[in-house]
Structure 1
Amino acid sequence: MPPHPRTTSPPRARRRLRRALACAVTISGVLLTTAGTGHADPYAAPFPAPSMTPSTLDARYATERRSIEQALRTAHGVGDTGRARTLGAFLRPGRRFLDFDPRGRGQAVEVIGDLASARRVALLVPGADTTLGSFDQRPGKPWSTPGGGARAVYTEASRITPRPGLAVVAWLGYAAPKTLSSDVLTDERAGQGAVALHRFVSGVHRVNPAARIGLLCHSYGSVVCGRAAGSATGGAAWRRVTDIALFGSPGTTAWSASALGAARVWAGRGGTDWMEDVPHVRIFGLGLGPDPVSGRFGARVFDAGPGGHSDYLAPGSPSLRNLTDIALGRPESVTRA
């Protein structure tokens, strides 16, 4: 959905209209059918990969590459040109994946940087409508994809400091919902994603016990992060999570930042992000709770600039600079809204 135009001080009637339109679009997702085509999924399960440990990291990268190669052969065989283009890009030299599953809308987890030696690890958790096909392909806005966004953060970190000691993970490790579906009105998909995110954070900790971790959570991805943080019951791995950044967020299901644990909780919203107009409620399991940028939520609100819902990681933007400082564990450098 394109961002709404923004005026300096929109009249009350205009704001009511925008909120009504946002409600109508959101509720329409419940009314849309999501029936499949009835065709069997042609893609096979990925090869079993070893668990994440320092000694098996390279073997895991190699196994996931074999799974991508297998899926690429299938894509060519069934004439799935879009998927073939995506998978061909995944196999470019230097790209490394810790997880991959071509079935359905697909999942993938890519690492940029040296996960085993990094002082900081940033996990970029994307939102609704993210699939294998949109993992790093979006015309005109490559930074708005998981892969492109992770590369934007890594590049910005290298600009800020010559030796950032940062690894960035593009984490599409859950089945992201469609924007126009009832799934975005509840936290069911987020609950499933939270379990997978917990598991992955534990894997990162096994690979690199000294690294501190930051979660960069966009849109519905912030619901995943909120559920994961809210259900954390301790343990060495989750204690390494020092920062949780929520941007373009519809809510987290938590009623306050304090419910997300001991990590620093950040929130930001671009000046023309349509998410401002989505109702922030939670009633009988529907809705995702308070607005993270509201004062009552209690997050540290950072300057996200004038951009829209897909612009947070755009090169040169204040939001990219601030999110990168959060990823680097530099709270004193983050400019507040």
Structure 2
Amino acid sequence: MASRPHNSRLRRALLAALVTASVAVPVSGAARPAAVPAPAPTALAPLRTVAPAALAARYAATRSDIRAAERTALAHGDTRRAGSLRAMARPGRHFLSFDGRDGGRTAEVFGDLSRARRIAVLVPGSDTGLDQYGRLLAGAEALHEQLGGGAAVVAWLGYAAPATVSTQVLTTGRADEAAPVLRRFVGELGRAAPGNRISLLCHSYGSVVCGRAAAGLDVADIVLYGSPGAGRGSAAGLRTPATIWAARGRGDWIADVPHVRIPLPSGTLGLGADPVSAGFGARVFDAGGGGHSDYLKPGSLSLANLARIVVGQAPAGEVRHA
């Protein structure tokens, strides 16, 4: 009798996979953002300091790469991509890294990184790329505004995020590819800005990326919100001394995603345990009543609580210690 709920979850997960695959396959031949060409970026040395002069030189180099990618997109006839890149190259935008190939990789800074003592690294989820960058931009700006002076936000799009309608979003494959890149970035940032408090804020599939990258990361907090799973069975399985936080808005459809791990001949289907479940072991805080895309919405409880975590304060409202 005890096996029936488990079997039901397996059936739901397999059904979700089949439905996703049936939708993904017909659209796979459509034009993809990754198909827009871009030149190879400047080879940058590892980030070793956040001194103003060093940052200014790095920002100038990435701005030059963005403009080169804009020219290539225009030559290719993709005016939408070119417009996105033109906005990124405007004065006042600051990128630690940029690569316009394969859908785009970026790390944009909001605030004065040379003066910041608290740094939030935003790790976005599925359907995030250069052509959908506005959502990540708006969230990073809202968080920086909420944090105020003395803090900086880095919007890290350092991997090929899967499409929501795809088979890749059902596995940890893209997260496994992204994990060493995120570890390297956070390691460089920590060494360049020693003594700063760094927090990882991981949304949706970004939670899977953070979960797979967590081991050995020198960060104060890892926050999993709107999460389909972390690619691990528990907070302890992340193997990190960081405080693990989790939250889900009451209007978030992600609550209906089955949390299972099913071995298959070609890999594993599913993203692991629910981070807001009591058995996972995270510190669960109130994210309000918003939906899946509302966590960084100005004026929201979720944004306020994320900012409180970044500065080392307890979130407002109920916090469940699992």
TM-score range, shorter chain: 0.7 to 0.9
Residue type at the aligned position of 2:246: A
Partner of 1:246: 224
The verdict on how the C-alpha distance between 1:335 and 1:111 changes in structure 2, with shifts beyond 3 A counting, is farther
Q: Distance in 1 between matches of 2:249 and 2:35?
A: 41
Give a deviation string over 1:79-101, Cα, whole Å, max 9, x none: 21111111111022211001111
Alignment of 1:1-337 (within 5 A): 24-31=15-22, 32-33=24-25, 34-35=28-29, 41-54=36-49, 56-136=54-134, 145-158=135-148, 163=149, 165-229=150-214, 232=215, 234=216, 238-239=217-218, 241-260=219-238, 261-284=240-263, 285-331=268-314, 333=316, 335-336=318-319
Residue type at the aligned position of 1:316: G
The verdict on how the C-alpha distance between 1:278 and 1:29 changes in structure 2, with shifts beyond 3 A counting, is same
The verdict on how the C-alpha distance between 1:310 and 1:40 changes in structure 2, with shifts beyond 3 A counting, is closer
Give a deviation string over 1:93-145, Cα, whole Å, max 9, x none: 21100111111211211001122331111000000010111111xxxxxxxx2
State the 1:30 CA deviation.
2.6
Residue type at the aligned position of 2:72: T
Could you tell me whether the CA contact under 8 Å between 1:53 and 1:203 is conserved in 2?
yes
Give a deviation string over 1:14-60, Cα, whole Å, max 9, x none: xx9xx96x875553223332347699753211122232122643222
1:215 counterpart SS class? strand
Could you tell me whether the CA contact under 8 Å between 1:128 and 1:221 is conserved in 2?
yes
Q: Distance in 1 between matches of 2:176 and 2:102?
A: 19
State the 1:334 CA deviation.
6.4
Could you tell me whether the CA contact under 8 Å between 1:215 and 1:243 is conserved in 2?
yes
Residue type at the aligned position of 1:155: E
Residue type at the aligned position of 1:157: L
Could you tell me whether the CA contact under 8 Å between 2:36 and 2:73 is conserved in 1?
no
Can you give the 5+ residue segments of structure 2 that lack an aligned partner in the other structure?
Answer: 1-7
Residue type at the aligned position of 1:110: E
State the 1:75 CA deviation.
1.9
Q: Distance in 2 between matches of 1:207 and 1:36?
A: 42
Give a deviation string over 1:245-274, Cα, whole Å, max 9, x none: 111100012111122211111111111111
The verdict on how the C-alpha distance between 1:98 and 1:335 changes in structure 2, with shifts beyond 3 A counting, is farther
The one of the two structures with greater contact order (alpha-carbon pairs below 8 A, sep at least 6) is: 1
The verdict on how the C-alpha distance between 1:278 and 1:91 changes in structure 2, with shifts beyond 3 A counting, is same
Provide the aligned length of Structure 1 versus Structure 2.
299
1:124 counterpart SS class? strand
TM score, norm. by length of structure 1: 0.83
State the 1:333 CA deviation.
4.9
State the 1:335 CA deviation.
4.6
Give a deviation string over 1:266-286, Cα, whole Å, max 9, x none: 111111111000000012111
Q: Distance in 2 between matches of 1:267 and 1:335?
A: 12
The verdict on how the C-alpha distance between 1:334 and 1:100 changes in structure 2, with shifts beyond 3 A counting, is farther
2:220 counterpart SS class? strand
TM score, norm. by length of structure 2: 0.87
Q: Distance in 1 between matches of 2:209 and 2:130?
A: 18
Report the RMSD for the aligned CA atoms in angstroms: 2.2
Partner of 1:5: none
2:319 counterpart SS class? coil
Can you give the 5+ residue segments of structure 1 that lack an aligned partner in the other structure?
Answer: 1-15, 137-144
1:325 counterpart SS class? helix
1:244 counterpart SS class? strand
